[in-house]
């Protein structure tokens, strides 16, 4: 939450000048957009006559009505309680999006026929590729972070080279390099292992920095207290530093996981049958690309929402532990 002062000020959306400004902006925008050709023009037919021939008057009338509705909506939402405001705005935006998709004239029967396979094959593959990758990436990240913080020049050099290289290359290129490059060395790798390897290495590099920051956020005094009691390095790390660094590490790691879920779509280029691959291929035969892309987009979104919820749960757990 931003800092809100205890002195109450009247709501911005209820100030007359604000409503006027919103109205002016909305009206101008809709006037320029010329909505007479859209569904709104149809609805207004009784007033403006044949939409296509209504000319400047039609444009003006439609823009005026829509702008009025828009301002009214904003002002009315201003009266609701905070949770209700959030709910209403979410619902409105969702309806706008759905009506946007609706204009594509999607074949819902086709979607219904294909979605089960998208879930059993695509979502399953996406999830397990991401989960394995995030696990390996975390392991890499711990080692990388320790190496980057160590004063062993050799370890630091390797770790910094690694993070620089894998953060500096596009992930798509890494996927290609690993899938096509390793066989040159005589290692034939399947598409899934190659994809997992690319994702792990790339995200391991990012997460190395997250873990490093987490470890560095722990007060030096914790190290001193621990070492002065005779704890060795690894004992201090495992029992004292990492447990305290986790609350710092977990939220950005959750972000990384969500990002990885979506970046795993890049491994579709090497033929892994995950969600993105299926979205591109299932509709190809009948040229129903839009159906599949939108369904996959929705599935990605739903998965991300689930992960966001899980992440906020975990954060709350750690906050509770430290807030004592």
Choice between 115 and 240, CB closer to other proteins: 240
DSSP one-letter string for 227-253? HHTT--HHHIIIIIIHHHHHHHHHHHH
Interface positions, 165-224, toward other proteins (CB under 8 A):
219, 221-222, 224
Q: Which residue has the tokens 């996981």?
A: 257
Rounded Cα distance between 295 and 248, Å, is 35
CA angle 218, 220, 225 (to 5 degrees): 105
Residue 18 contacts residue 55 (beta carbons within 8 Å): no
Answer positive or negative: Cα dihedral of 177, 128, 275, 202. Answer: negative
Residue 105, sorted as left (phi over 0), alpha (psi -120 to 50) or beta, turns out to be left
> Which 213-232 residues touch other proteins, going by CB under 8 A?
219, 221-222, 224-232
Q: Which of 13, 178, 146 is nearest to 80 (CA)?
A: 13
Of residues 47 and 229, the one with the C-beta less far from other proteins: 229
Query: Applying CB under 8 A, what is the total number of residues that bind other proteins?
Result: 20
Q: How far is the CB of 316 from other proteins (least distance, A)?
A: 17
Region near other proteins per CB under 8 A, out of 53-61, 70-78, 111-119, 237-245: 237-245
- Pick between residue 14 and residue 321 the one whose CB is nearest to other proteins: 321
Q: Which of 11, 14, 45, 239 binds other proteins (CB under 8 A)?
A: 239
In the complex with other proteins, which residue's Cβ is closer, 132 or 242? 242
The residue (of 50 and 224) whose beta carbon lies closer to other proteins is 224
CB of 26 to other proteins, least distance (A): 52
Binding residue for other proteins (CB under 8 A) from 235, 302, 306, 309?
A: 235
Q: Least distance in Å: CB of 214 to other proteins? A: 14
Alpha-helical regions (H) of 150-241: 153-168, 171-181, 191-216, 220-228, 233-235
- Compare residues 78 and 247 and give the one whose CB is closer to other proteins: 247
3-state secondary structure of 318: helix
Which of the residues 243 through 302 are near other proteins (CB under 8 A)?
Answer: 243-244
10 or 322: whose CB is closer to other proteins?
A: 322
Min dist. Cβ of residue 221 to other proteins (A): 4
CB atoms within 10 A of CB 250: 17
Residue with the two structure tokens 């391991």: 204
Are residues 255 and 323 in contact, defined by beta-carbon separation less than 8 angstroms? no
Q: Residue 321, interface with other proteins (CB under 8 A)?
A: yes
Least Å distance, CB 212 to other proteins, is 20
Q: Pull the structure tokens for residue 41.
A: 């023009």
Q: Which is nearer to other proteins, 13 or 218 (CB)?
A: 218
Six-digit token pair at 295? Answer: 């369904």
Window contacting other proteins (CB under 8 A); options: 96-104, 148-156, 177-185, 316-324? 316-324
Q: Please report how close the Cβ of residue 140 comes to other proteins at its closest, in angstroms.
A: 25
The answer to whether 31 touches 63, Cβ cutoff 8 Å, is yes
Minimum distance of other proteins from residue 318's CB (angstroms): 10
Q: Which residues bind other proteins (CB under 8 A)?
A: 219, 221-222, 224-232, 235, 239-240, 243-244, 321-322, 324
């Amino acid at each position: 939450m931003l800092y809100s002062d205890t002195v109450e000020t009247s709501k911005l959306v209820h100030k007359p000048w604000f409503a006027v400004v919103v109205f002016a902006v909305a009206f101008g925008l809709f006037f320029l957009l010329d909505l007479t050709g859209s569904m709104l023009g149809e609805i207004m037919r009784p007033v403006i006559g044949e939409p296509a021939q209504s000319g400047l008057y039609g444009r003006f009338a439609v823009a005026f009505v829509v702008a009025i509705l828009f301002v009214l909506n904003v002002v009315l939402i201003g009266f609701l309680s905070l949770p209700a405001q959030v709910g209403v705005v979410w619902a409105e935006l969702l309806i706008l999006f759905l009506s946007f998709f609706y204009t594509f004239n999607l074949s819902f029967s086709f979607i219904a026929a294909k979605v089960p396979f998208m879930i059993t094959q695509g979502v399953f593959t996406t999830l397990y590729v991401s989960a394995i990758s995030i696990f390996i990436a975390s392991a890499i990240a711990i080692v990388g972070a320790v190496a980057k913080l160590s004063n062993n020049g050799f370890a630091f050099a390797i770790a910094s080279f690694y993070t620089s290289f894998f953060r500096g290359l596009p992930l798509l290129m890494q996927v290609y390099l690993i899938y096509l490059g390793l066989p040159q060395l005589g290692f034939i790798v399947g598409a899934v292992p190659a994809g997992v390897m690319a994702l792990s290495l790339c995200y391991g590099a990012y997460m190395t920095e997250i873990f490093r920051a987490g470890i560095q956020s722990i007060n030096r005094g914790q190290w001193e207290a621990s070492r002065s009691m005779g704890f060795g390095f690894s004992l201090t790390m495992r029992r004292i530093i990492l447990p305290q660094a986790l609350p710092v590490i977990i939220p950005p790691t959750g972000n990384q996981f969500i990002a990885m879920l979506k970046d795993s779509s890049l491994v579709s280029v090497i033929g892994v049958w995950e969600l993105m691959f299926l979205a591109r291929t299932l509709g190809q035969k009948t040229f129903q690309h839009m159906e599949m892309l939108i369904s996959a987009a929705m599935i990605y979104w739903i998965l991300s929402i689930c992960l966001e919820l899980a992440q906020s749960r975990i954060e709350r757990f750690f906050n509770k532990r430290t807030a004592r």
